[in-house]
Amino acid sequence: MKTEFCKIGALAQGRAPDASDAEILDRAAEILRSGGLVAFPTETVYGLGANALDAEAAKKIYAAKGRPSDNPLIIHIANVADADKYCYTNELYACLAERFLPGPLTVILKKRDVIPLTVTGGLDTVAVRLPSDPTARELIRRAGIPIAAPSANRSGKPSPTKAEHVLEDMDGRIEMIIDGGECQIGLESTIVSISDGHLNLLRPGGITVEMLEDICPVSIDKAVTEKLSDGERPLAPGMKYRHYAPDTKVVLLDGSDAEVADYIKRNAPNGKIGLILSDNDAHLAAGTGAELLTYGDGDIDEAHRLFALLREVDRLGCDVIYARLPDKKGIGLAVYNRILKAAGYEILRLG
Ligand code: TXA
Ligand code: MG
């Protein structure tokens, strides 16, 4: 299959869609309605879309990603009220929607029959998301159907934050990639389960625990911060899979500036080492000869750059990559969760 690569202009820059944008989006909408696959930008990461009402179309997503069929998809809708067509909403949904939607929050509720079990991995619940990205919203609106879309990476790879990442993973496997530039947030949406009226956090993201606690009490699924033992299951099936991991071994260092600097100095002569550090921490590697990838500064930059850096890591040809254990406050919890998985839960406590 030939994959078309189409660049969105005006809409991606915050203006009304111009004629070229409209032509691309109408063509993409038609591909989706007729059962094909289109990758599109959202404010979190790129999604790999198919008609969420069509089981056959959804099966193509699992095939293109190499994704296990028990790992359910998120359906993307065009406005808050549409959720009611696909699931049984409740008061908590209304509160969350009022405060956070459109935005990087996915809500899990009991599904209605129109949503095929193929989309939900056999579950009786469905994950619903109303993205804020203008290109995503315009595409869903023009398609006139809910769009099932996981992140547009091959299973196991970091989620794509640029259209070029999608092309790397999906060229020849899908009909179209819409290039809307770099994703604003860079990590996938926050996922909460609210079907019983209580809020359970399944995956941390741009809507933080602190923000959610303003609305109601939050329980955090153990899988967010800890490796589960063999018998345990995360509430989000996808959280059990090896994810976000480069081929190069990643190890997290937990220690003070001095301890981290000392550890890097002692280990640099043992092989080719790489480091993922914030700009502020870059001096800790001075004079060691280690390959250095930097995040920028602060948790927002870390979230924004993490996946792109994890895709670069293997190109360095290092024996091992070290990164610091992130702080769990705010969006830091999402960075912590993703990098912990990239490191296969390996933390070196230096103190
Ligand atoms: O930001 C995002 O959420 C991106 C963009 C494209 O919207 N999408 C995304 O989808 O990250 P995906 O498929 O990569 O991750 C969806 C996660 C998986 O861990 C899946 O197991 C979980 O959501 N999930 C989906 N439906 C669920 C359900 N009914 N119950 C529990 N977990 C569910
Ligand atoms: Mg994913």
CA distances from residue 37 to 24, 68, 174 in whole angstroms, order as listed: 14, 18, 5
Hey, which bits of 125-240 come out as E strands? 125-129, 147-148, 176-179, 190-193, 199-203, 218-220
pLDDT in tens, 2-27: 999 999 999 999 999 999 999 999 99
Ligand 1 within 6 A of CB of 204? no
Say how far apart CA 196 and CA 199 lie, in whole Å.
Answer: 8
pLDDT in tens, 133-187: 999 999 999 999 999 999 999 998 899 999 999 999 999 999 999 999 999 999 9
Which listed ligand is nearest to 124 at the C-alpha?
A: 1
pLDDT mean over 197-204:
97
Question: Which residue CA neighbors atom 22 of ligand 1 most closely?
Answer: 236
- Look at residue 81 and tell me whether its pLDDT is greater than 70: yes
List helix spans (H) across 102-162: 134-143
pLDDT in tens, 287-328: 899 999 999 889 999 999 999 999 998 889 999 999 999 999
Ligand 1 within 6 A of CB of 49? no
pLDDT confidence of residue 238: 83
Mean pLDDT score across all residues of the chain: 95
Residue 263's pLDDT band, with cuts at 50, 70 and 90, is very high
Say how far apart CA 99 and CA 170 lie, in whole Å.
Answer: 35
Q: What are phi and psi of 291, to 5 degrees?
A: -75, 130
How many Å lie between the centroid of ligand 1 and the Cα of residue 287? 42
- Look at residue 231 and tell me whether its pLDDT is greater than 90: no
- Look at residue 228 and tell me whether its pLDDT is greater than 70: yes
Its pTM surpasses 0.95: yes
Ligand 1 within 6 A of CB of 340? no
Cis bond before residue 102 (omega within 30° of 0): yes
pLDDT mean over 255-279:
93
Written as one string, the DSSP assignment of 226-281 is SPPPTT---SSGGGGS--S--SSEEEEEES-HHHHHHHHHHHGGGS-EEEEE-GGG
Residues flanking ion ligand 2, Cβ below 5 Å: 151
- Look at residue 242 and tell me whether its pLDDT is greater than 70: no
Contacting residues for 41 by C-beta, under 8 A, at least 6 apart: 8, 12, 47, 133, 135, 136, 163, 178, 179, 180, 181, 183
Which ligand 1 atom sits closest to the C-alpha of 131?
A: 7
Q: Report the greatest alpha carbon distance in the chain.
A: 62
pLDDT confidence of residue 268: 86
**Half-sphere exposure of residue 348: CA atoms within 13 angstroms, side-chain side:** 15
- Look at residue 240 and tell me whether its pLDDT is greater than 90: no
Ligand 1 within 6 A of CB of 333? no
Say how far apart CA 138 and CA 132 lie, in whole Å.
Answer: 10
3 state DSSP class of 114: coil
pLDDT confidence of residue 351: 85
How many Å lie between the centroid of ligand 2 and the Cα of residue 159? 6
Ligand 1 within 6 A of CB of 31? no
- What Rg, from alpha-carbon coordinates, does the chain have? 20
Say how far apart CA 282 and CA 278 lie, in whole Å.
Answer: 6
Ligand 1 within 6 A of CB of 50? no
How many Å lie between the centroid of ligand 2 and the Cα of residue 284? 33
How many Å lie between the centroid of ligand 1 and the Cα of residue 148? 10
Ligand 1 within 6 A of CB of 102? no
- Look at residue 107 and tell me whether its pLDDT is greater than 80: yes
